[in-house]
Structure 1
């Protein structure tokens, strides 16, 4: 099948049959189980996108842009919304396909693009997952400092692997309740912060709280336009993971009804949580008081007089990291399953167990986490952090490839090669081009901040390596199997 052929649009068809289905190569490829409801998919992307980026990394964004970071979150949120709408339009043309945007890039840009975006996404999610599981062990050390960290790490990997090996509905239910805890904590912080300002409870910063703190300390944009631009690298990464919703399209009940709902509401919910929570923090605490040594959220809980504020925040942090790890592991497994169907990964990774779960792909994720954590322990920390910074680059790269795939699909529609799908992105090609230009700008901006230069270097090198692997190894194999 060549890259210009359009798959038949299939509505919500049951995929609970565990028997292998032949893929393009004639090899058995297992069907994923349909078990995710509307509320499940609403929280899968939330689980991955709301985590360390909000609870801790937001301090770095504030340091770069001051109160104007709120504007950066709004602009980035609009761009991410366009990414999700573009992904949604492609997904609803063929919701039964696993692997999602890897499949769409292959369909509209060619096999090489499908390989590149698929494996770049896996690298992104894997690095973030390693960071999450490591963070959990650090959080648990607060209560049990004498327990070796590897004990917690092994336990967390076994737990998340077990959850991903059970029926997808169990995963969805777990992610729903974990995300509820995170969202609840954010809402509590927002309400608590407003209570501090309205009822004058304590003084969390060096000056009295109030909206005036947004402009009294050097102005709304104290670091200028350059500061706002540089903050985009941190801000965009904070939204990273929202695209994991796309990898769940093959397991959603009634996708033509539930996917549009999730795609339309999730970016706005995430944006609302980020802007409201950080806006409240900046009203309570002058941006100059936020040094990044502690989470800005800690000061809010402390000033509210909660006796176990530190322990409470630690529980929320553990929940946030485990939720993100759970969602990331799910997304990696499903992407591997999709890549296997296209001949871009070993065919074993496309097989499913009797519950419709890609068990080999899930086990591979667990193995990769173990290898990554061993490297984390033996490699010099500074070197490992430089390698880990590829996650930032990979996030933006994946979004850019989704937008380019959508542009290619739209041109095919305009030329009459394929029909218009049931779910159109707003603003036509212009909005997609603007969002793509924004992503390119973010990548270029990596070169202007010492903290993001490693992400650019490692990201570009990683891209070259993936291209070389595709040209020298994967493409000849696909030709042998007649998959190109």
Structure 2
């Protein structure tokens, strides 16, 4: 294996990744890969298995909850798209925060994001193992989790193109499944699906069981807390863009299409569920929203059909989670914020050490899940639970600063612009902050926010102390400050 050493301190700054860069990554992702990653990135297993809790909490009003969170994600993706189109990099928002807010910010949010995804690896591996054990009970659940992790680790180790190809088909299955569900379910809603068992009540179920908001307007916010984390992953395409054939085009296309992706896949599918069945249907609570909806139409073996789709979503999330965690570790290594070995690539342009380092922690988290699910793993889960919102906040504050830097240094690269800057950026910051504060009023949400904030505070404190005690980093930052002053108007 031939390894390429990490670049020098000056080369490691954000902006040096992408095709033809000295970082060692290769542009192995095709445009079709990036397109499907962008489309499938917002469709997680949480949409299929978690939506029933939201419907029970808010009734048909859960549509407003999804719309509010979707709006928030659209704003965040627009800001991230502005920065990523101007400067595609494997570190994405962590690298931009490093540049705009300071080394402590890039270090902190990068490691928190990495931590979030290695915990997700354990969650998804376990979820996939539960389904597979149901099909082949002779193989124990822990063995299935191990098999799934090993297979997808091998996929990521082969090449970035291998990851892209797997994700292309995983995401493709999810997209086709939801599109078919919306079309078939929509026909059944209005009673025009041949052979349907559903009575075809049209839009009556939106209001016929205690109204559109049966539990009051406050339930909309409770619904927001339940659905917000099912949107995590939409930002993956901006990390992957650095290894694509045409990063700027890929990011621009993904950013511009996020509105219809959320509208169709989230709002569209949930709309079909709450119009096919009353929101308080026992079937939704017992079997899950999508299985209940399919059974109401008369689809045979609806439970097994949904298990196949959920397993695909789980494998997709695992595949992308490992890719995302390893690329963030790679970027941190490039910026001397992680071991230098993480910044090395092999002859195929794969950051092998970063992948193996990430999967090792993923395996450890899986082990914790089986050994101490209600203590150690529960702590890991809750302490990473609010990281998604922290990441979105950092993206907002970073974009406020990066707009000026891009205009000053490379104004021609500002091909994607945040709407109504800076007003919508500040409005998004207010929305995310409100969700975080509101989580403190919810028992489960309170634990997630407090533990996640505690972990974040420890990481930030470590980053600040580390910067103060590192003369070499101070010299690099001082040289950059002088360089910025020399080009300032």
TM-score, normalisation: structure 1: 0.89
> Relative to 1, partners in 2 of residues 1:294 and 1:451: Cα closer, same or farther, differing over 3 Å?
farther
Contact 1:18–1:355 under 8 Å retained in 2: no
1:30 deviates by 3.9
Which shows bigger deviation, 279-288 or 18-27?
Answer: 18-27
CA distance in 2, matches of 1:115, 1:271: 34
Contact 2:60–2:279 under 8 Å retained in 1: yes
CA distance in 2, matches of 1:19, 1:384: 36
Pair 1:24 & 2:9 matched: yes
Q: Does the residue aligned with 2:280 lie in a helix, a strand or coil? A: helix
Pair 1:396 & 2:389 matched: yes
Pair 1:89 & 2:82 matched: yes
Q: Which residue does 1:13 correspond to in 2?
A: none
1:195 deviates by 3.0
CA distance in 2, matches of 1:383, 1:292: 29
Match for residue 154 of structure 1 among 138, 141, 146: 146
CA distance in 1, matches of 2:324, 2:203: 40
Which deviations, in whole Å up to 9, do the C-alpha atoms of 1:329-359 show, x marking residues without a partner? 1111111111111111111101011111111
Q: Which residue does 1:184 correspond to in 2?
A: 176
Pair 1:167 & 2:152 matched: no
Pair 1:232 & 2:224 matched: yes
Q: Does the residue aligned with 1:73 lie in a helix, a strand or coil? A: helix
Q: Does the residue aligned with 2:350 lie in a helix, a strand or coil? A: coil
Q: CA RMSD in A?
A: 2.4
CA distance in 2, matches of 1:94, 1:140: 41
1:82 deviates by 1.4
1:158 deviates by 0.9
- Give the count of matched residue pairs: 464
CA distance in 2, matches of 1:165, 1:62: 40
Which deviations, in whole Å up to 9, do the C-alpha atoms of 1:55-98 show, x marking residues without a partner? 01111222222111112212221221111111111112222x32
Q: Which runs of 5+ in 2 are unaligned?
A: 13-20, 478-489
Report 1:246-257 matches (<5 A): 246-257=238-249
Match for residue 471 of structure 1 among 457, 461, 464: 464
Q: Does the residue aligned with 1:428 lie in a helix, a strand or coil? A: coil
CA distance in 2, matches of 1:236, 1:352: 35
Pair 1:325 & 2:318 matched: yes
> Relative to 1, partners in 2 of residues 1:46 and 1:120: Cα closer, same or farther, differing over 3 Å?
farther
Contact 2:98–2:106 under 8 Å retained in 1: yes
CA distance in 2, matches of 1:50, 1:388: 20
CA distance in 2, matches of 1:452, 1:320: 25
Q: Which residue does 1:349 correspond to in 2?
A: 342
Pair 1:310 & 2:295 matched: no
Q: Which residue does 2:234 correspond to in 1?
A: 242
Match for residue 417 of structure 2 among 414, 420, 424: 424
> Relative to 1, partners in 2 of residues 1:368 and 1:46: Cα closer, same or farther, differing over 3 Å?
farther
1:45 deviates by 4.1
Q: Does the residue aligned with 2:416 lie in a helix, a strand or coil? A: coil
CA distance in 2, matches of 1:55, 1:410: 37
Q: Which residue does 1:132 correspond to in 2?
A: 124
Contact 1:203–1:209 under 8 Å retained in 2: no
Q: Does the residue aligned with 1:237 lie in a helix, a strand or coil? A: helix
Q: Which residue does 1:280 correspond to in 2?
A: 272
1:202 deviates by 5.3
Q: Which residue does 1:369 correspond to in 2?
A: 362
Which deviations, in whole Å up to 9, do the C-alpha atoms of 1:387-418 show, x marking residues without a partner? 3133430111101100110012235568x577
Q: Which residue does 2:482 correspond to in 1?
A: none
1:169 deviates by 1.4
Contact 1:390–1:459 under 8 Å retained in 2: yes
Q: Which residue does 1:337 correspond to in 2?
A: 330
Match for residue 40 of structure 1 among 33, 40, 61: 33
TM-score, normalisation: structure 2: 0.89
CA distance in 2, matches of 1:84, 1:324: 19
> Relative to 1, partners in 2 of residues 1:218 and 1:33: Cα closer, same or farther, differing over 3 Å?
same
CA distance in 2, matches of 1:312, 1:413: 48
Q: Does the residue aligned with 2:135 lie in a helix, a strand or coil? A: coil
1:322 deviates by 0.2
